[in-house]
Structure 1
C-alpha cells in the first residue's frame, strides 16, 4: 500500500513520517507533495490508498485537491491535517469525502486512530471492488462460451442455422426468424484515466461495460450483449423486442455507463433485419454508422440511420494531408518543436473548418501520414541508415477520447505535434551520428562545385533555411559558405591550369564559371594574379 503526504511545510511532512508506524498497515511506499497540483500528478501516477493533506497550500489548496479527487472518483482515503479550525474547511472535507479533520499541532494518538480507520475502510472498499469485478467476470464465464462463439459465427455468415440453435433457451431470443436490430458500442480510444478503478486492467473494464449492457437488456429479455471475437473492444447488442424504442434503450445503456463508469460511449444502431440471415449486414451497417459519426459533435452518443446519416453515403471529408505535405515536411526537417506545432495547428484548423471529422476520415489521413512519414525519413536518411522504428507510424490518427468520452481537437493536435517532434528529433540524432548536416553540405559542395550552386539551391536540397545554413556553416567551419565554394573552385582551377592543353575558357567552365571574364576576375581576387599570369609563373617555376 502507498501513502501520500501533501503539505507545503517540510517539518509537518517529516512529523507525519515519524509519528505513524507504517509497518503496522503494510504501507511500504511514502510519497510527498508540496502543493495540490503536485499531489494530483502523483495520485494519477501512483494511486496511493491513503492521502494526508493540508488545506492552505500554494498553487492548488486542499479544497481544490479534495474536489478533484471527488470528481475523479479517486479510491484513496483522505485525512486532512490543518492549522485552521474553520467550519467551511471542515464542511468541504466532509463534502468531498475526507474521513478526518485533524488540527495542528498533531496529537500522535489521534493521528494513528485516523490512519487505522482510513486504512480499514480503504481495504473494505478495495475488497468490495475486487469482489464485484470477480463476480462480474464469473457471471460472464457462467454463460456458455458458445454464446459469444455462436453470435460471432452469425456475424461472419458461417453456420447460420447451426450457430443459432440453442440461443432461444439461453437468451430469450424468439423462435423462427424474428426481426432484430443490432447496436454496436465501441470502447475505441479509451482514456487511461477511466481504468484507474480497475487497476489499469482494460479487460476488467470491458467486462464491466458488457455486464451493464446485459443487465439492462436482460431485465425484459429484450436482447443480448456479447463480445464479437473479431471486433477489438466492441460490445455487440442484438435487440429483438421494443425495436421501435431501440434508440431510447441505447440511450439508457449510455446513461448507465456514465453513472457507473463516469464515461460515455458511442453506439451505432442499425436498421431492422431478419435473424439470423441479416445479422452480418446489420453488423456492417452499425460499424459504418460509427465510422461516419462526426467527432466534432458532442451532443449525441447514439447514432442511427434515422438520424439523417444514411450508411450508404460517405460524407465529403476535409483537406488531404498531402495538401500540407510541403509545410509539414519543412517543419519536421527544421527540427524546431515550435515550428512543428504551428504547422500542425494550421493543418488541424483546416481539417476542423470543414465542420466534420469522422473515424473513417482519420483512417484515410493515417494512411497518408504513414506514406509521407516514410518518404520524409528516406529523404533525410539513406536506406541503410533507416531504422525499423522510423518506418512504423505512431497512433496520432487513431481515435482517442478524453475521460468523458469526447474527442478533443486540442488533444489530437498535441498528439500529432508531439509525435512529429519526436520523429524530427530522432531524424536529427541519426543524421548527427552519421555526420552533421553542415559536413553533409560541405561534401555536397565538393561533389557539385562544377555546377552553379546558390545558397537557395542548398537550402532546398537540405530542407533548411538559408539563414540557418549560413550561420551554422560559419560556426562549424569558420568560413562563409560562399567563400568556401569559391576557394574549392579556385583550388581545382589551379590544378587545371597546370595542364597547358586546357584553355582558360575550358577551365572556367569546369569549375563552375560559364563566363571566362568573370572567372578571371574571381581568380585574381583570390590569388592576386590572372589565370594566365598564374599559369606562366607555375610554368617558369617548374622549368627551374
Structure 2
C-alpha cells in the first residue's frame, strides 16, 4: 500500500513520516509532495491509497485538491491536517472524501488512528472493487460469439435479418414480443493507455468486461442486450426493446456502473426509436452519427442523442493552406508553430469541435502534406517515399474519438506534422539541387554524345517531366538549350584551330548535321560559324 504526504513545509512532512507507524498499517511506500500541482502528478503516477495533506497551501486549499482529483481518483482516502477548527472546513473536507480531520499540532495517537481507519476502509473497498470486477467478468448465460454474430447480422445484413431473428428468438436472446427498438453505440477509447494496461492490452478481455457490465443492467427483465459489433472491432452496440423512451436514463445508469468498476465513463450515441428489426441499419447509422458529431469540448456530457446532433459543421482547412505552405517553405520554427495552431484555434473559438471535424482536419492536413511533398519530389519518384512519411505521421496523430479531448496533443501533432513536412521539403530541395548539379556535370562530360532528355532521366532514375521542370527551375533554361549551349561553347574554342573544318567541329561537339549546327550557332551567337571564325582569325 502507498501513502502520499502533501505539505508545503518540509519539517511538517518529516514530522508525519516519523509519527506514523507505517509498517503496522501495511504501508510500504511513502512519497511526498510540496504543493497541489505536484500532488496531482504524484497521484497520477503512484496511485496512493492514502493522502495526508495540509488544508492550507500556497497553490490552493486541500479541499481544492480533493475536488480536483475526486473524479480521477475516487478510491483515495484523504486525511486532512489543519491549524483551524472551522466547521465549514471540516464539512467540505468530508464532502470531498476526507475521512479524518486532524488539528495541528499533530498527536501520534491521533494520526496513527486516522491512518489505521483509512487503511482499513481502503482495503474493504479494494476487495469490493475486486469482487465486482471478477463478477463482471463471468460468462453470460447466452453464447456470446454466436449471439453477437446474429445480432450484428440484424444491422449489417438486412436481407437475412428475419432468419437471424428467428434463431435469436429460439436461443431466447431476443424476446418474442419485441416489435420496437432503440439503438445506442459506444466506442472504446483506443488511446486510453491506463485502461488498456489494466487488461494487459487484451482488447477482447476489455470489451468482454464492458459488455458484461452493460448486460447486468439490460438482461434482467429482457430490457435489451449489449454486444460487440463484429464489423467494427472497437464498437459496442446496445439494443433496447423495453422502455425505449427511457434509453438516456438506462445509459446513464450503465455509465455509472462502468465508473464504479472501471473508473471510466464512455461516450454513447443513440438513435431514434424504430421498428424492430427493420429500422436497425438506419438506427446504427444515426447512433454513429450522434457519436461523430458530439461536442468534445463539453467534457461532462456522455449521452449523445441523434436528434440533438449538429449537422455538417465544418471549419475548412483550405482557409489556412497558404499559411501552412509559406511556413513549410520557410523552415522557420516560429512560423511553423504559429501556422500549425490556426485551424485548432478557430475550432476552439467556435465552441464546437466534434470527432468528425478532427477526422476531416487530419485527412485534409495529410493530403495537403502529400501534395506538397509530391510537388517537391516529382510525381513519378515520390509515391513510395511519400506514403512512408504520411503513414508515420498518421500513426502519431491523437485519436479522433478520444474520450477526453486534448487540444494540446493535437497542437503538438500539428506542429510535428508541419515541421516534418518542412524538413522533407528542405531535404528534397537539397537532394534536387545536388541531382541537377550532377546532371549538369554529366552534360559537361558527355556533350559530344547523343544526349536525349529520356536518356538523362533514365540514367538518373527520374521522369522526363521531373528533369525538365527541375532543371529549368535551377538553371533558368530548359535542358535542351543548355546542352546546345555547352556544345556551342566547345565549338567556339575549337574554331581557334584553323586546321579544323567546321563540319569536323560540328561532329566533334555532337552535331551530325552541319546545317543544323550553323542554325543553332547563329541563333545563339547572332552570326554564322564561318563569320565567327573569320572574326576570330582576323
TM-score band by shorter chain is 0.5 to 0.7
Q: Does 1:80 align with 2:77?
A: no
Q: 2:100 maps to which residue?
A: 100
2:154–2:164 Cα contact (<8 Å) kept: no
Q: 2:185 maps to which residue?
A: 185
Larger radius of gyration: 2
Give distance in 2, aligned partners of 1:502 and 1:353. 73
| Higher deviation after alignment, 63-72 or 182-191 | 182-191
Measured against aligned partners, the alpha-carbon deviations of 1:314-372 in whole angstroms (never above 9, x if no partner) come to: 95553543453332243355566654454344324556789976544544443333333
Q: 2:249 maps to which residue?
A: 252
Task: Map 1:84-483 to 2 at 5 A.
Answer: 84-138=84-138, 140-145=139-144, 146-157=146-157, 161=163, 164-167=166-169, 170-171=172-173, 173-174=175-176, 179-187=179-187, 189=189, 192=192, 195=195, 210-211=211-212, 213-242=214-243, 246=244, 248-257=245-254, 259-260=256-257, 261=259, 263=265, 265-270=267-272, 272-275=274-277, 278=278, 281-282=281-282, 284-287=284-287, 289-290=289-290, 293=293, 295=295, 301-304=303-306, 307=307, 316=312, 318-332=314-328, 334=330, 339-348=335-344, 359-376=355-372, 388=388, 391-392=391-392, 393-394=394-395, 396=397, 398-401=399-402, 403=404, 411-412=406-407, 414-425=408-419
Q: 1:485 maps to which residue?
A: none
Measured against aligned partners, the alpha-carbon deviations of 1:82-127 in whole angstroms (never above 9, x if no partner) come to: 3444443333322222122233443334333322221221111111
Q: 1:525 maps to which residue?
A: none
Give distance in 2, aligned partners of 1:386 and 1:161. 48
Give the TM-score of the pair, scaled to structure 2.
0.65
The SS at the match of 1:165 is helix
The SS at the match of 1:141 is coil
| Higher deviation after alignment, 111-120 or 150-159 | 150-159
1:318–1:356 Cα contact (<8 Å) kept: no
Measured against aligned partners, the alpha-carbon deviations of 1:209-240 in whole angstroms (never above 9, x if no partner) come to: 54564344445433222222333343323333
Q: 1:47 maps to which residue?
A: 47
1:133–1:204 Cα contact (<8 Å) kept: no
Give distance in 1, aligned partners of 2:195 and 2:68. 17
Give distance in 2, aligned partners of 1:57 and 1:352. 33
The 1:501/1:315 distance shift into structure 2, 3 A limit, reads: farther
Give distance in 2, aligned partners of 1:196 and 1:386. 32
| Aligned-pair Cα RMSD in Å | 4.7
Measured against aligned partners, the alpha-carbon deviations of 1:53-109 in whole angstroms (never above 9, x if no partner) come to: 112211223121122233545211112233444443333322222122233443334
The 1:355/1:207 distance shift into structure 2, 3 A limit, reads: same
The 1:32/1:133 distance shift into structure 2, 3 A limit, reads: same
1:271–1:282 Cα contact (<8 Å) kept: no
Give the TM-score of the pair, scaled to structure 1.
0.64
| Higher deviation after alignment, 201-210 or 415-424 | 201-210
5+ unaligned residues in a row in structure 1: which ranges? 451-495, 504-515, 517-544
How many residues end up aligned between the 2 structures? 437
Give distance in 2, aligned partners of 1:30 and 1:431. 52
Give distance in 1, aligned partners of 2:53 and 2:325. 49
1:293–1:358 Cα contact (<8 Å) kept: yes
Give distance in 2, aligned partners of 1:2 and 1:289. 44
The 1:84/1:182 distance shift into structure 2, 3 A limit, reads: closer
2:153–2:164 Cα contact (<8 Å) kept: no
Q: CA deviation at 1:390?
A: 5.1
Q: 1:459 maps to which residue?
A: none
The 1:371/1:101 distance shift into structure 2, 3 A limit, reads: same
1:325–1:372 Cα contact (<8 Å) kept: yes
Give distance in 2, aligned partners of 1:129 and 1:341. 45
5+ unaligned residues in a row in structure 2: which ranges? 442-488, 497-524, 526-538
Q: CA deviation at 1:174?
A: 1.1
Q: CA deviation at 1:131?
A: 0.9
2:80–2:102 Cα contact (<8 Å) kept: yes
Give distance in 2, aligned partners of 1:105 and 1:297. 45
Give distance in 2, aligned partners of 1:200 and 1:336. 42
Give distance in 1, aligned partners of 2:17 and 2:292. 55
